[in-house]
Amino acid sequence: MLSSFLTGFFLGISLIVAIGPQNSFVIRQGILGKHTFYVALFCAISDSLLICLGVIGISFFLNSFISEFSNLLFGLSSLWLFGYGVLRLKSAFKGNINKEIADSKSKKLRSTILVLAILTFANPHVYLDTMVLIGSISQQFLGIYRITFAMGAIVASFVFFFCLGYGATKLSPLMKRKSSWQVLDILIAIIMFNIAFNLFFAINW
C-alpha cells in the first residue's frame, strides 16, 4: 500500500511542478497575500476531482473526446493564454503597479476564483495530466492499491499548492519595488506565450 501511495504522490508532484498558468496565478496571489488559502484549496480540490474521475475510468472516454476535438480545444486555450500573457506584459510596461496591487487586494474572492477556474480548466494539459495520464497509470493497480495510488496523487496536489501559495508569501518583502513586479509579470507572460504557442502548433492544420 505504501508503495502505491508513494507512486501516486511522486507522479502527481512530477506532473504539477512545472510552472504553468495555474501555478503562476497561485504564485502571484501568494505574493499579494490575497485569498492564498482559498486559491490553493481550489487548485488542490480541482486536481483531486479530476484525478478521481480519471481513476474510476472516465479517462478513456476523455482521451477519445480530446482526440476528436483537440483542434478546437487547443485553439481556444491558445487564444485565452496568449491574451492573458498580453495583459501581464501590458501590466509590466504600462501598468500602475501600486494601483494594481491595491485593486488585487480589494478584489473579491468570487472574481479571483473565477479567473483561476478559467486558467485551470481552459488548459487541456490539466485533463491530460490528471485524468488521462494518472487515470491510465492507476489501472495497473487493483482494489485498495488503486485507491492508495489515487490518494498519493491527491495528497501531492494539496502539499504542492499550499507550499507554492504560502511559499510565495515569503517573497512579498522583495516585491516592494516596481522593477520586481515587472520581472514577475514578464516571466509570467513568457510562460503564457510559450504554452499558447505550443498549443497552437499542436493543432493539426
| pLDDT tens, residue by residue, 84-113 | 788 778 877 775 555 555 555 556 888 889
pLDDT for residue 184 is more than 70: yes
User: Is there a contact between 130 and 55 (Cβ–Cβ < 8 Å)?
Assistant: no
| pLDDT attached to residue 148 | 93
Q: pLDDT higher for 33 or 40? A: 40
Q: What is the reported pLDDT for 162?
A: 94
Distance CA 132, CA 125 (A): 10
Average pLDDT over all residues of the chain: 79
Q: What is the pTM of this model?
A: 0.70
pLDDT given at position 174: 67
What would the grid cell of residue 79 be?
Answer: 487564444
In degrees to the nearest 10, what's the CA dihedral of 76, 77, 81, 82? -40
Per-residue model confidence (pLDDT) at position 169: 83
Of residues 66 and 155, the one with the higher pLDDT is 155
Mean of the pLDDT values across residues 111-122? 87
Question: What does the radius of gyration of the chain's CA atoms come to, in whole angstroms?
Answer: 18
Q: Which residue has the cell 497561485?
A: 26
Q: Look at residues 16, 23, 19 and name the one whose alpha carbon lies nearest to residue 116.
A: 23
| pLDDT at 55 (0 to 100) | 84
What band does 54 get if pLDDT is binned at 50, 70 and 90? confident
Going 43 to 45 to 51 to 54, the CA torsion angle's sign is negative
**Is a pLDDT exceeding 90 seen at residue 48?**
yes
Alpha-carbon separation of residue 70 from 73, 138, 173, 194 (angstroms): 5, 24, 43, 18
Best mean pLDDT range from 55-69, 85-99, 144-158: 144-158
Q: Per-residue confidence at 138, pLDDT binned at 50, 70, 90?
A: confident
d(CA 83, CA 195): 12
